[in-house]
């Protein structure tokens, strides 16, 4: 039930610190070892490439996961939309391993890929919030997201749970390969930082509500920009805003603006700029100046490390690789308050269903 909340979405946003603690407790043993099926590790260790297949928000969680697997487990990763990949399957690597990300475990676009993967007798894992879902039953292995039922159509806690569970698997795989970087990645500490960091952001609701009114009232377009990990995050931030506020929003690689999209910037165009990515930070600052010079109304969301005077939302400390777990939360809240201000049905946006069971 919604309890004291007006909407499931806000309740689910607020549950995220607990979801992080639950994932930590269930997947990390007291001695620091990880609770991941040995058969799964033995099999995924053989893979020369991981193929992450998903849709919507889960696809965006896959884009964040790619980085984590490549850095911590030293394996190349392709992230694919089920609706594209199934019908235009590229030439696969010699030893592919498929990971299906799906909150519901029922998404038809992802399932049709799994059917083909099974026909080819290739190994697969489904990461899902619903243990006995179709994708879970039909894949070789399952890892649960442990986010608890997600009712609002706009996915929030499943996204952050997916990133956390991808990090669990990446670390387990890296350790199985005896990689130093995996052993040194202190996931227990990171998930604790994630829980506390999300809490800090959700405690700033009033401030974020005001910023939303300030930046988005009567606006019909908005941009999220960032580089690296923040680019992946921008895609999810923009999807949240479009799907429940119906404001046209785009997530953009900050460096791509000047290759076309900057033509859309006018006086007062809202631009939400993320500065959490260490390598990209100074270049993104440059892009912020470029859009400001053309009149954009820029709100900067920066990690403590890269924050500057005037930045309006600060992301508490966390490893960059999993930073979207915290940095998505302001965007979830911005979408929520924008939707609310427009009088939309926050939990059941027009034209959308919670699980999409048609291709
Ligand atoms: O259940 P799934 O994770 O497979 O669903 C995939 C998408 O349909 C889903 O993430 C959708 O994009 C959400 N409404 C986004 O908030």
Q: Say what the pLDDT of residue 353 is.
A: 84
103 CA to centre of ligand 1 in angstroms = 7
- Out of 62, 65, 107, mutate this one to test ligand 1's pocket (max ligand atoms within 8 Å of CB): namely 107
Catalytic machinery residues: 354
Tell me what ipTM this predicted complex has: 0.98
What pTM, to 2 d.p., does this model score? 0.98
Q: Which atom of ligand 1 is nearest to the CA of 56?
A: 12
In tens digits, what is the pLDDT along the chain, a chain of 359 residues?
A: 889 999 999 999 999 999 999 999 999 999 999 999 999 999 999 999 999 999 999 999 999 999 999 999 999 999 999 999 988 988 999 999 999 999 999 999 999 999 999 999 999 999 999 999 999 999 999 999 999 999 999 999 999 999 999 999 999 999 999 999 999 999 999 999 999 999 999 999 999 999 999 999 999 999 999 999 999 999 999 999 999 999 999 999 999 998 988 989 999 999 999 999 888 899 999 999 999 999 999 999 999 999 999 999 999 999 999 999 999 999 999 999 999 999 999 999 988 888 888 88
CA dist 147 → 55, 75, 187, 297 (Å) = 18, 27, 18, 35
* Pocket flag, ligand 1, residue 311 (CB < 6 Å): no
Do 124 and 100 contact (CB within 8 A), yes or no? yes
* Pocket flag, ligand 1, residue 151 (CB < 6 Å): no
* Pocket flag, ligand 1, residue 134 (CB < 6 Å): no
- Out of 53, 58, 113, 352, mutate this one to test ligand 1's pocket (max ligand atoms within 8 Å of CB): namely 58
């Amino acid at each position: 039930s919604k309890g004291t909340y007006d909407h499931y979405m806000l309740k689910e946003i607020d549950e995220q610190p607990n979801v992080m603690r639950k994932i930590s407790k269930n997947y990390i043993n007291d001695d620091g070892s990880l609770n991941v099926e040995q058969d799964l590790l033995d099999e995924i260790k053989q893979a020369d490439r991981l193929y992450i297949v998903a849709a919507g928000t889960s696809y965006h969680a896959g884009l964040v996961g790619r980085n984590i697997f490549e850095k911590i487990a030293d394996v190349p990763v392709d992230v694919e939309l089920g609706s594209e990949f199934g019908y235009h399957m590229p030439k696969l690597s010699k030893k592919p391993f498929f990971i299906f990300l799906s909150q519901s475990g029922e998404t038809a676009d992802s399932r049709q890929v799994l059917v083909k993967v099974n026909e080819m007798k290739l190994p697969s894992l489904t990461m899902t919030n619903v243990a006995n879902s179709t994708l879970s039953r039909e894949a070789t292995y399952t890892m649960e997201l442990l986010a608890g039922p997600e009712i609002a159509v706009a996915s929030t806690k499943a996204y952050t749970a997916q990133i956390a569970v991808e990090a669990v698997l990446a670390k387990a795989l890296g350790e199985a390969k005896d990689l130093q970087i995996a052993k040194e990645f202190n996931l227990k500490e990171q998930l604790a930082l994630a829980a506390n960091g999300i809490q800090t952001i959700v405690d700033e609701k009033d401030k974020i509500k005001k910023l939303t009114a300030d930046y988005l009232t009567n606006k019909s377009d908005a941009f999220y920009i960032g580089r690296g990990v923040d680019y992946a995050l921008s895609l999810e931030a923009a999807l949240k805003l479009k799907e429940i506020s119906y404001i046209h929003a785009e997530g953009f690689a900050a460096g791509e603006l000047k290759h076309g999209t900057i033509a859309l910037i006018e006086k007062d165009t809202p631009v939400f700029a993320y500065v959490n990515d260490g390598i990209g930070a100074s270049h993104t600052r440059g892009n912020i100046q470029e859009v400001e010079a053309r009149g954009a109304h820029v709100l900067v969301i920066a990690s403590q490390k890269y924050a500057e005077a005037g930045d309006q939302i600060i992301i508490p400390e966390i490893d960059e690789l999993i930073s979207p777990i915290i940095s998505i939360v302001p965007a979830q809240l911005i979408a929520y308050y924008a939707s609310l201000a427009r009088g939309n049905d926050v939990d059941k946006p027009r034209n959308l269903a919670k699980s999409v069971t048609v291709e």
